Structure 1
């Protein structure tokens, strides 16, 4: 890859080709919890833009440019009152749509009608707040949110969280489309009890089996990987052929342009976006969706706050303290020497590549076929948009974008892995405790 190609797929500020593409998709901008408390307002940076997210007195969400259109003062220090956000400099007041309601020091009361602050559509689902920074239709409306499982499930069955990464968004995303790394980076030397696996990646048993996922990854470290294009991105099929003729089947997805959808357990999935703050840092935003019982949100939150601090969801370990690396631990107890939380493992893997990975120096192998396919897709969609054509759109309403299907399970000997995962996914959805839309497989 050339330096110019690397820039093309990593730099997302306004006016860049990638930035133009990403602005054609809904972007997670905050967790709903971030607007709890006495002052529901937060300064945010998204795709290199400085913004202010707030909830007005009526509970409506607003997202506006951070600089006041009067003389550029910082609206993140504004007052939430009188139906909007008021700038402390001269008292100019803006509603959630950017309309100026008052310019109190101006003698002409109609002066405010000439003022407009740039505002962006926002939507809230499952404890996550999404923003639209791209073009809108003639009525000022953005496209509907896509019909993903995590966005159609009842709030009781979805838990949302996020975490900061000190690196470019793309290398953070690419780790999720690499099935081979889990056998090494996330290797556990001992298998935990099933009742201790709740909410933890790679600690549960596989579907239709009492085989721990940790054992599968540890003992079968050379998987067979296939990649297929779908209406929403890419489907990655990973097969591990077990002793005795059974096959471990893992289906994961790249949700274009910047998310992946993977199984957490036999009844819970993770949809995780990687969203640029700027070119050198990002947040991962995850929605955990249960098809069975409601999510134990207090436990899920408690688990993740062992690693992240509030209010900014900063990791307790990172580049500043060598990701908690302990050579004695690596020698005696864990594969990485960085504890047992896979979020730390992934954080080291992506941050240690540098704040923007130099892809001119990498040597990709056959296990990287999903990464190659994704980069081809990303560059193709950027070029398509540059030609004035619409990029890949995620469908809204209960059609092709619903899902996408994801699972890890064990297909019995003599069973087609493809037939197995489709039947297992259909069974999971049919037995769900909420009204899951039908998924065409």
Structure 2
């Protein structure tokens, strides 16, 4: 249980807030690359309460600018993409992707006003189908050489969704392994060979045991949480018999992402990014170690529950998340369908726009959440003091941050402690792109 003041400290992300100051030290996802396709590659973006406009110019360069025109404050999201930049529809002022004003056409001939005008502009990088932006002070950190960032484009797929709650409670569900045995419980096990693109519907690695059966029948896991160079490693063990143990290793990448197994061949790297204090987007990169990702199938699956253009959930608080009494009695623990993202969304949104942590009572299985909050508070205090914060790799350091390994499988009981490392290495050795990294 924490105080209201402590809760505000770790949840509020606006400009000038302690947590907001920390989060601005990192690259943040702001859009999917697919959102900058079509005849008008421009999108308004809200990040941590600030408003921007994201666009791709005729040369393919991506720019992120403050949304209000520096002339009279008109909305640049309605501007014209032309002549190498974004032109305000109010008076025609033109800005390139760096924020430099190129033209002030209504001014007298020979005017040099445009040379003195710069719009707020921010570094952007496209990685594996996601546009990342840096809106903090100073130089941004390098990108770690995690699998999701170095796998070939053919082996990754990116998507996102909007939740109506604070970013922190959305993130914390990813460091709570115990909830999967309840929130994501299915009373029947599907054919695991038909599980492509579906989380918690396949078989655990090195077995034919459906993950749904493991979660349903072994609901008292042994959870270990430990600091790691990238943030935190969570190891969850479920004893299946005297001979076998189910091992699930997940990771929290500081400050607001996690890397988890989706199947024996695919991992998910997912960020929870504040739109403002009461809304957040999850951005996910699915990374395959075997063959190329079937992007069309993955996208079609997600569009069954996600509605464009804002990537909002078709099942939400206004339609009770599709809740069915009959389904809850016979098919799923929640009665809210087969998509676990909907389950997680309900759990997080049901806490309120910002969870009141003064009323919570954490248990033993919440050790990951408790460790993360200590790390978060320490980092917030460091950022406030102008000191170094975690996960700020230089270009030279980025190569030392690989993986991180994320596995869901069944091990011999006496090898459970080493299973993740062994299974991860075997998976990489069998992978065209990941084996090349091992050889290097």
Give the TM interval when normalised to the shorter protein.
Answer: over 0.9
Per the alignment, residue 109 of structure 1 pairs with 111
SS of 2:46 mapped into structure 1: strand
1:426 is matched with 425
Q: Secondary structure at the match of 1:434?
A: helix
Contact 2:32 2:129 in 1 (8 A): yes
Q: Work out the number of aligned pairs and report it.
A: 435
Matched, 1:123 2:131: no
Query: What is the CA-CA distance between 1:334 and the residue it aligns to?
Result: 2.0
Give the aligned partner of residue 353 of structure 2.
355
Deviates further, 194-203 or 85-94: 194-203
Equivalent in the alignment of 2:216: 218
Q: Give the equivalent residue in structure 1 for 2:42.
A: 41
Residue 414 of structure 1 aligns to a residue in which SS?
helix
Distance in 2, matches of 1:400 and 1:185, equals: 36
Summarize the alignment of residues 56-75 of structure 1 with structure 2, pairs less than 5 Å apart.
56-75=57-76
Q: 1:97-155: CA deviations, max 9, x gaps?
A: 00000001111431100100000000001111000011234xxxx33222211011110
Residue in 2 aligned with 1:289? 287
Matches for 1:251-262 after TM superposition, within 5 Å: 251-262=249-260
CA-to-partner distance for each residue in 1:392-421, whole Å, 9 max, x for gaps?
A: 025346533211111011111332x12121
Q: Are residue 413 (structure 1) and residue 433 (structure 2) matched?
A: no
Q: CA deviation at 1:52?
A: 0.1
Classify 1:434/1:149 alpha carbon distance in 2 versus 1 (closer, same or farther; 3 Å): same
Give the SS at the match of 2:375.
helix
Equivalent-residue separation in structure 2 for 1:389 and 1:414 (angstroms): 43
Q: Give the counterpart of 1:315 among 301, 313, 316.
A: 313
Indicate if the aligned counterparts of 1:394 and 1:401 stay in contact, CA closer than 8 A.
no
Aligned to 2:144: 146
The corresponding residue for 1:404 is 404
SS in 2 for 1:283: strand
Q: Equivalent residues in 2 for 1:14-413 (5 A)?
A: 14-107=15-108, 108-137=110-139, 142-395=140-393, 396=395, 399-413=399-413
Cα distance between partner residues in 2 of 1:79 and 1:28: 24
Kept in 2: contact 1:251–1:262 (CA 8 A): yes
Q: Distance in 2 between matches of 1:64 and 1:233?
A: 31
User: For the Cα contact (< 8 Å) 1:237–1:252, is it kept in 2?
Assistant: yes
- 8 Å CA contact 1:163–1:315 kept in 2: the answer is yes
Q: What are the Cα deviations for residues 176-203 of structure 1, in whole angstroms up to 9, with x where unaligned?
A: 1000000000001111112211011111
User: In the aligned structure 1, how far is the partner of 2:47 from the partner of 2:369?
Assistant: 24
Distance in 2 (alpha carbons) for counterparts of 1:129 and 1:119: 15
Conserved? CA contact 2:142–2:392, under 8 Å: no
2:144–2:399 CA contact under 8 A, matched in 1: no
State the Cα distance separating 1:326 from its structure 2 match: 1.4
What secondary structure does 1:109 align onto?
Answer: coil
Further displaced range: 115-124 or 330-339: 330-339
Superposed CA deviations along residues 284-306 of structure 1, whole A, max 9, x for unmatched, are: 00000001100000000000000
TM-score, normalization by structure 1: 0.96
Q: Which runs of 5+ in 2 are unaligned?
A: none
TM-score (norm 2): 0.97
In the alignment, the residues of structure 2 paired with residue 119 and residue 96 of structure 1 have an alpha-carbon distance, to the nearest angstrom, of: 7
* CA shift for structure 1 position 437: 6.8
Question: Is contact 2:316-2:322 (8 Å) kept?
Answer: yes
Distance 1:129 1:436 in 2: 27
Please give the alpha-carbon distance, in whole angstroms, between the structure 1 residues aligned to 2:435 and 2:229: 19
* Contact 1:149–1:436 under 8 Å retained in 2: no
Q: Distance in 1 between matches of 2:356 and 2:340?
A: 24
CA-to-partner distance for each residue in 1:19-60, whole Å, 9 max, x for gaps? Answer: 110011100000011111100000010011100000001010
d(CA) in 2 for partners of 1:333 and 1:203?
14
Contact 1:231-1:394 at 8 Å conserved across structures: no
> Matched residues in 2 for 1:399 and 1:64: separation?
30
SS in 2 for 1:200: coil
Aligned Cα RMSD in Å?
1.4
Q: Structure 2 CA distance, aligned partners of 1:105 and 1:144?
A: 42
